[in-house]
Amino acid sequence: MVYIELELDLSSVGIFSDVLQSELCDIGFESFLDKEDGFFAYCQKDIFNQNELDSILDTFKSNNPSVDFTYVIKEIEQQDWNKEWEKSYEAVLVDDYCYVRASFHPPMNSVKYDIEISPKMSFGTAHHPTTYQIIQLLKDEDLVGKDVMDMGTGTGVLAILSKLKGARVVDAIDNDEWAFENAKENVLRNNVDVNVSLGDAKMLTMTYDLFIANINRNILLQDMPLYSKHIREGGFLILSGFYNNDVEILEKSANENNLELITHIAKENWAALRFIKKQ
């Protein structure tokens, strides 16, 4: 099979690399290799669309005028993607209590929670500041006997951690079929009982003690009323997936839905918020 290789160089990497990779997933790019000044991205030739790529890059440039970039596209034959991925993928240790790793990393017996994740195309490896911060917020969350929803679960890492921390019921939802399948695989890999479903917030039926949503700002704003409706009084909502300058509008929406902000943390300009459902 022939693939398109996109080599993209950025004048500033940081969060901008993560943003672009997430958007490229939406148009069929399925593998990424980071490098010092950018990354390589790979898409099957049959589904590659130059106009879609141009649209993403044009929008990125409009939103980030201070960031310069150049790119080169070429055709290549299929490679051993796993071998290439392993060269650049590193395990992540969060606050010395949660270790998120791939199968080719040795386990870390000194941490309380050792989670093995095969991310494939799914979001949620703890490399990204949003996932990392939610894991941080979960450190002191007492989940024993509690019911948890992980909306936009990606790899399932947050749902898996919630179950390992003693949650009674853990439900996980994602609207991307690849992420849905990947989360199910990772749940089995970690031998935990998590209910993984394909869909969105419209599927919600029960209420939860803890509701996690690591999604983009617009979806969070759109679905905030549904989230609140399905959180028990005195329960908590943890949000991430947005920048610090989005906090004000998200807090306003949460307040309108009977949710009060109690924790705000930030990493590399990405924010994570923890709310309580008022009684």
Residue 90, both tokens: 């590193």
CB atoms within 10 A of CB 85: 18
| C-beta of residue 172 within 8 angstroms of C-beta of residue 194 | yes
CATH superfamily ID and name for 90-277: Vaccinia Virus protein VP39 (3.40.50.150)
In whole angstroms, give the CA distance from residue 112 to residue 90.
Answer: 19
Confidence at residue 178, expressed as pLDDT on a 0 to 100 scale: 79
Is the CATH code 3.40.390.10 the one for domain 2-86?
no
How far is residue 99 from each of residues 82, 117, 124, 167, measured CA to CA in Å?
21, 10, 13, 19
| C-beta of residue 231 within 8 angstroms of C-beta of residue 237 | yes
- Rounded to the nearest 10 degrees, the angle between the axes of helix 50-63 and helix 14-25 is 150
Confidence at residue 221, expressed as pLDDT on a 0 to 100 scale: 95
Confidence at residue 1, expressed as pLDDT on a 0 to 100 scale: 66
**pTM for the model:** 0.76
Going from the first residue of the chain to its last (279 residues), give the mean pLDDT of each consecutive group of 10, the final group possibly shorter: 87 79 84 80 88 93 89 78 61 95 90 88 71 96 98 95 98 89 95 97 97 92 97 97 91 98 92 95
Confidence at residue 29, expressed as pLDDT on a 0 to 100 scale: 83
Residues 6+ away with beta carbon under 8 Å from 220: 213, 239, 241, 242, 250, 253
Confidence at residue 19, expressed as pLDDT on a 0 to 100 scale: 83
Confidence at residue 33, expressed as pLDDT on a 0 to 100 scale: 75
- Cite the residue boundaries of each domain of the chain with CATH code 3.30.70.270: 2-86
